[in-house]
Copies of this chain bind each other. A is one copy, B any other.
Amino acid sequence: MRGRPELHAVIMAGGVGTRFWPLSRRKRPKQFLPITSERTMFEETAARLHPLVPPVRIHTVADAFQSRTIRRLAPWLPAENVIVEPRGKNTAPSLILATARVHLRNPEAVVAVLPSDHLIARPGLFRRRLAAAAEAAAREDSLVTFGVRPTFPSTGYGYIHFTRRGAKTRGGEMFFPVLEFREKPDLKTARRFLRSGAYAWNSGMFVWRASVFARKLERHAPGFFPFWLRMAAALKSRSRTGLADVFDDIPALSIDYALMEKAEGTLVMEGDFGWSDVGAWSSLADIWPRDASDNAVRGEAAAVEAGGNVCYNPGKLTALVGVSGLVIVETGDALLVCRKDRDQDVKKILELLGRRGRKQFL
């Protein structure tokens, strides 16, 4: 290789979810909410690529509705970089499409795949690590991924089992051979993973050369390779209906399940740049600034013997008396008050509202 690899970023912005209800709704998923800062998580994801990846090489992949939101939030994105999925069908279809698009421009370009709803507390460090990962992806015939060192035995993340033997240095960073991708473990297994030191959380960020991705698909995910070929053809002929046909047929699987768990030769580097998937309201207790009583508040707070609460009520006053361990979210039309350790049960509220036919709140 001569010089730096041509690094493209693909921001996956197609996610939906309920865990930030009532702020998140069907038409306003987590990545389009200003929960980690005054900007939306999508905007933060795009902004932290500067100056490593220029706008002309930043792409997004999402459905038509979400893509309109993207164009509104990022009018500086070249229109052709806003890749519109005919419909949302999980990450394998999204990433086959996005990688095929980059492949059309330059098969030897490197693609960094980035979720749009994760927090990275140290963006400068992130860019250095990403540049090194791009270097590794350019020089090796490997898919490259970031693993986050576990701090507790989480049962909510997938894990990457790696080995320190055969580590390589690329771009000044260490890359370790991946032995296996593991899906979300039970608590006992998670504890074993934590103790062993050879397991990292799967951050869902991947880096690969477009041509390497195609070859890995062909060899390790042969069921998906025909879809790659059909998408590439549809993109080349600019056929919207051709693309829609592929999306009708392709299985709605995750890239982890479709490819990463099966591919060989994958490398992992440590993602030590303050990564968090910001999984639910309670996780913001560790992200937002906290007052002297350990309340994490967006908006103005007044607390009397109240601590350890997470409050989202921007531009307004939240007064707390004698309460602790609560998530409190006010969004104008709806108010949520939830025990912090029960925030996964917010989905039950949505089920209840669905049964009542209260669509305006979904």
Whether A339 pairs with B361 at a CB distance below 8 angstroms is no
For residue A22, CB closer than 8 A to chain B, the reply is yes
- In Å, the complex CA distance between A316 and B330 comes to 10
Complex Cα distance, B337 from A326, in Å, reads 10
Q: Which residue of B lies closest to A353 (CB)?
A: B302
Given the known A-B contacts A302-B353, A345-B304, are A338 and B317 also in contact in the complex, defined by CB atoms under 8 Å? no
- Complex contact B302–A321 (CB within 8 A): no
User: Is A313 part of the binding interface, using a Cβ–Cβ cutoff of 8 Å?
Assistant: yes
Instruction: Flag whether A38 is at the interface (Cβ < 8 A).
Output: no
Number of copies: 2
- For window 342-362 of A, CB contacts with B under 8 Å fall at 342-343, 345-346, 348-349, 352-353, 356, 358, 361
Chain A contact-residue range equals 35 or more
A187 at the interface (CB under 8 A from B): no
Smallest distance from the beta carbon of A325 to chain B beta carbons, Å?
10
A22 to B320, CA, bound (A): 12
Q: How far is the CA of A333 from the CA of B318 in the complex (A)?
A: 9
A323-B337 in contact (CB<8A): yes
A16: interface (CB < 8 Å): no
The answer on a CB contact under 8 Å between A316 and B302 is no
Q: Pick the residue among B322, B326, B333, B352 that contacts A316 (CB under 8 A).
A: B333
B313 in contact with A339 (CB, 8 Å): no
Residues in B whose Cβ lies below 8 Å from that of A74: none
Assess whether A64 is interfacial by the CB under 8 Å rule.
no
A319 at the B interface (CB under 8 A): yes
A335 and B313 contact, Cβ closer than 8 Å, known pairs A305-B345, A319-B22, A345-B322? yes
Residue of B nearest to A299 (CB): B335
Known: A302-B352, A316-B332, A321-B346. 11 other contacts (CB 8 A): A302-B353, A302-B356, A304-B345, A304-B352, A316-B334, A318-B334, A319-B335, A319-B336, A321-B343, A321-B348, A322-B345
The 3 closest A-B CB pairs, nearest first, are A322-B342, A322-B339, A321-B338
